[in-house]
């Protein structure tokens, strides 16, 4: 899995993504700056592309960091309750502020995502039975508890419909002015890269980190803040994208190992490419309608995940 | 020289290590021995600042350990603990390179690369430097970790039961390497051991702990005696001298 091939794949898929859609746009239409096509292109297609790439890269890196810090290949924002905590946060922000602005939602949801992930890491510390499969099961249960709390209060407050918008990841609503929050993941990814070596060391355990003079707890906390930031921005703009943070880092780990400084770019690129494929397929299969991205990722992702499990080799 | 003065560690009411005074002599192998639960690993972890000290202090070459910044400490003392699960997929070379982390923070310069090459060569790991840790046997993995500590280039090398789960051949191999570290590179090695005969054959000094206290501390020949071992283990162990080594035959005691 060479980096240049991944870059090439992302570029080709990006071009494809720009010219697939209900209203047909050809590259020559763009020569006319005032045409309706150009307008659609700039208001919808380009933002959609940017959103997909940022969300794909971001969620994959969030998963990578979580797997490294928890030392478990099955932990990801989906299987550790982070996504559910974020959603609970969005609900709380909607109940607290009548017409919550994006920033208010962002801040509250971020606080919940961080608290939820921290709580899960605490639970992880206290579990004596550290079985590779058992831990994500605990995470899923934890997520479901949060989710049922969300549903209960959303039902009481009559905002169930509103909430379900954040349940299903969907890129069809992405337009200029509705996705800019995702740009936060760019600095987050850069910080993740700067800390890559420290995350790798932290992934070897607390004693190992201390031996090398790495402040273990601080690094874990920084990692969790980055994860919470990425997750919050993605859920707020696109919605939940399950499995992505689970599968992509695992595929990269099989081929490239766990040296984060080396694998982080691969993970980001593969995440973006995978999400682009899912999105393009989702737009083509029942053309002119669209299958939501969370469904596409869920179906393709779980198939790949099962394949990985059945390949017999223990990755976890 | 590492001086341990009045070191104690309590878990609740119970003292696991109580008022321990020990001197670690430079350029020697010092073994910590004693029955299970004597506090050997706890003592080693406190000396290497892996766990907090409840009272007392550790002095490393005139500096109080708690005054040494963490990144500086990592250049002077290294500790290898038995990690029970290692599922991080790193190649041997990547692992050994992390030994240079205290110096380079991950961006290895030429000097760092040279240290890594030397460490790999020293441990005879060059041929599989690109193999992943999870593809190695227990002995190879242990050697990889020791190579990392060599690359870390600290004066003091502390090891917590490095022979665990190793067969005879690999145990002897590891002990010989530690001996070479002292003789060739002038390191000071402190090691927690279970087998008194490995301690007897390879160490210069032995510190024996029991119920959190030091019961014996001295040159190896003073500790590997039937009387001293009786105090430490409550076992009557006959000592035989075989080819100049003192061997305790404890199997029927």
Inter-chain touch A261–B74, beta carbons under 8 Å: no
Distance from CA of B236 to the nearest CA of A (A): 37
Q: Is the pLDDT of residue B53 over 90?
A: yes
Query: Do strands B2-11 and B14-24 pair parallel, antiparallel, or not at all (unpaired)?
Result: antiparallel
How far apart CA A161 and CA B196 sit, in angstroms, is 71
Please list the ranges in chain A whose pLDDT falls under 50. 315-316
Alpha carbon of B208: minimum distance to chain A alpha carbons (Å) = 24
Say what the pLDDT of residue A316 is: 44
With beta carbons under 8 A apart, name residues in chain A contacting B90. Answer: 200, 257-259
CA-nearest residue to A132 within chain B is B87
Mutate one of B47, B68, B70, B88 to test the A interface: name it (highest A CB count within 10 A): B88
Helix axes B138-152, B110-122, angle to 10 degrees: 140
Q: What is the ipTM of this complex?
A: 0.88
B240, B242, B247, B248 alpha-carbon torsion, rounded to 10° = -30
pLDDT (0 to 100) of residue A30? 76
Whole-number pLDDT of residue A33: 73
The verdict on pTM exceeding 0.95 is no
Work out how many CB contacts closer than 8 A connect A with B. 74
Q: What is the mean pLDDT of residues B40-57?
A: 93
Cα–Cα distance measured from residue B229 to residue B233, given in angstroms and rounded to the nearest whole number:
6
* B88–A211 C-beta distance less than 8 A: no
Pick B86 or A58 by higher pLDDT.
A58
- Residue B223 to residue B208: CA distance in whole angstroms: 8
- Answer whether B108 touches A (CB < 8 Å): no
Name the one residue in this structure whose structure tokens are 């190793």. B166
The confidence band for B199, taking pLDDT boundaries of 50, 70 and 90, is very high
Name the band, by pLDDT with cuts 50, 70 and 90, for residue B180: very high
**pLDDT at residue B114 is higher than 90:** yes
pLDDT at B86: 67
Structure tokens at B180: 């070479």
Q: Is B148 on the interface with A (CB under 8 A)?
A: no
pLDDT for position B106: 80
Q: Which chain B residues touch A258 with a CB distance below 8 Å? A: 88-90
Whether B86 and chain A come into contact, CB under 8 Å, resolves to yes
B237 versus A2: the higher-pLDDT residue is: B237
At residue A313, the pLDDT reads 54
Measure the CA–CA gap between B56 and B158, rounded to whole angstroms: 20
Percent of chain B whose pLDDT exceeds 90: 83
Q: What is the pLDDT of residue A289?
A: 87
Report the gap between the CA of B106 and the closest CA in chain A (Å).
Answer: 6
Residue A278 near residue A293, CB atoms below 8 Å: yes
Question: In terms of CA atoms, which chain A residue is nearest residue B160?
Answer: A207
DSSP-assigned letters across all residues of chain A: --HHHHHHHHHHHHHHHHT-SSS---GGGGGSTTSHHHHHIIIIIHHHHHHHHHHHHHHHHHHHHHHHHHT-TT-STTTTTHHHHHHHHHHHHHHHSTT--HHHHHHHHHHHHHHHHHHHHHHHHH-S---TTHHHHHHHHHHHHHHHHHHHHHHHTT-HHHHHTTTS--STT--TTSSGGGGGHHHHHHHHHHTHHHHHHHTT-HHHHHHTT--HHHHHHHHHHHHHHHHHHHHHHT----SHHHHHHHHHHHHH-S-HHHHHHHHHHHHHHHHHHHHHHHHHHTTTS---HHHHHHHHHHHHHHHHHHT-----
Q: How far is it, in rounded angstroms, from Cα A172 to Cα B172?
A: 65
Q: Are B148 and B95 spatial neighbours (Cβ–Cβ below 8 Å)?
A: yes
- Contact call for residues B207 and B191 (beta carbons, < 8 A): no
- Chain A, window 10-49: residues with a beta carbon less than 8 angstroms from a chain B beta carbon: none
Q: Give the whole-angstrom CA distance, residue A59 versus residue B40.
A: 44
Report whether pLDDT(B24) > 60.
yes
Note whether B106 contacts A197, CB cutoff 8 Å.
Answer: yes
Q: Do A215 and B70 touch (CB under 8 A)?
A: yes
With cut-offs at 50, 70 and 90, classify the pLDDT of residue B67: very high
State whether B74 and A211 contact (CB < 8 Å). Answer: yes
List, in order, residues 6 or more apart from B207 with CB less than 8 Å away.
Answer: B22, B30, B31, B32, B33, B214, B216, B217
Mean pLDDT of chain B: 92
The whole-angstrom distance between A258's CA and the closest CA on chain B is 5
């Amino acid at each position: 899995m060479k980096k240049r091939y991944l870059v090439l794949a992302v570029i080709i898929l990006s071009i494809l993504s720009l010219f697939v859609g209900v209203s047909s746009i050809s590259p020559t239409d763009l020569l006319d700056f005032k045409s309706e096509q150009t307008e659609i292109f700039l208001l919808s297609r380009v933002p959609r592309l940017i959103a997909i790439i940022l969300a794909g890269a971001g969620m994959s890196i969030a998963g990578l960091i979580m797997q490294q810090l928890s030392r478990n290949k099955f932990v990801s924002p989906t299987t550790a309750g982070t996504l559910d905590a974020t959603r609970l946060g969005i609900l709380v922000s909607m109940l607290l502020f009548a017409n919550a602005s994006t920033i208010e939602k962002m801040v509250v949801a971020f606080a919940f995502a961080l608290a939820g992930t921290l709580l899960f890491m605490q639970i992880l510390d206290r579990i004596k039975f550290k079985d590779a499969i058992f831990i994500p099961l605990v995470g899923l249960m934890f997520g479901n508890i949060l989710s049922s709390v969300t549903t209960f209060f959303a039902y009481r407050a009559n905002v169930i419909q509103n909430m379900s918008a954040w349940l299903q990841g969907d890129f069809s609503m992405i337009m200029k002015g509705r996705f800019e929050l995702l740009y936060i993941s760019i600095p987050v990814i850069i910080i993740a890269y700067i800390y890559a070596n420290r995350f790798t060391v932290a992934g070897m355990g607390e004693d190992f980190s201390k031996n090398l003079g790495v402040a273990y707890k601080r690094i874990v906390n920084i990692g969790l803040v980055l994860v919470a930031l990425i997750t919050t921005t993605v859920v707020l703009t696109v919605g939940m994208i399950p499995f992505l943070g689970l599968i992509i880092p695992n595929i990269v780990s099989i081929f490239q190992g766990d040296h984060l400084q080396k694998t982080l770019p691969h993970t980001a690129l593969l995440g973006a490419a995978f999400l682009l494929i899912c999105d393009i397929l989702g737009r083509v299969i029942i053309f002119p309608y669209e299958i939501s991205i969370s469904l596409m990722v869920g179906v393709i992702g779980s198939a790949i995940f099962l394949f990985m499990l059945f390949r017999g080799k223990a990755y976890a | 020289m590492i001086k341990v003065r009045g070191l104690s560690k309590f878990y609740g009411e119970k003292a696991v290590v109580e008022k321990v005074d020990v001197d670690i002599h430079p350029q020697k192998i010092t073994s910590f021995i004693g029955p299970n639960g004597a506090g050997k690993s706890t003592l080693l972890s406190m000396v290497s600042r892996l766990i907090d000290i409840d009272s007392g202090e550790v002095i490393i070459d005139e500096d109080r350990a708690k005054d040494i910044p963490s990144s500086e400490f990592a250049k002077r003392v290294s500790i290898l603990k038995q990690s029970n699960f290692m599922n991080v997929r790193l190649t041997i070379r990547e692992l050994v390179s992390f030994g240079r982390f205290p110096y380079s923070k991950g961006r290895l310069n030429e000097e760092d690369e040279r240290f890594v090459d030397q460490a790999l060569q020293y441990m005879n790991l060059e041929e599989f430097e690109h193999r992943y840790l999870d593809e190695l046997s227990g002995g190879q993995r242990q050697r990889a970790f020791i190579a990392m500590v060599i690359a870390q280039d600290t004066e003091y090398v502390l090891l917590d039961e490095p022979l665990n789960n190793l067969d005879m051949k690999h145990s002897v191999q590891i002990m010989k390497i530690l001996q070479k570290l002292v003789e060739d590179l002038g390191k000071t090695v402190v090691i927690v051991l279970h087998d008194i005969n490995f301690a007897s054959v390879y160490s210069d000094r032995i510190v024996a702990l029991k119920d959190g206290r030091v019961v014996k501390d001295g040159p190896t020949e003073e500790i590997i005696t039937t009387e001293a071992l009786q105090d430490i283990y409550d076992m009557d162990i006959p000592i035989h001298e075989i080819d100049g080594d003192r061997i305790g035959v404890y199997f029927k005691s």
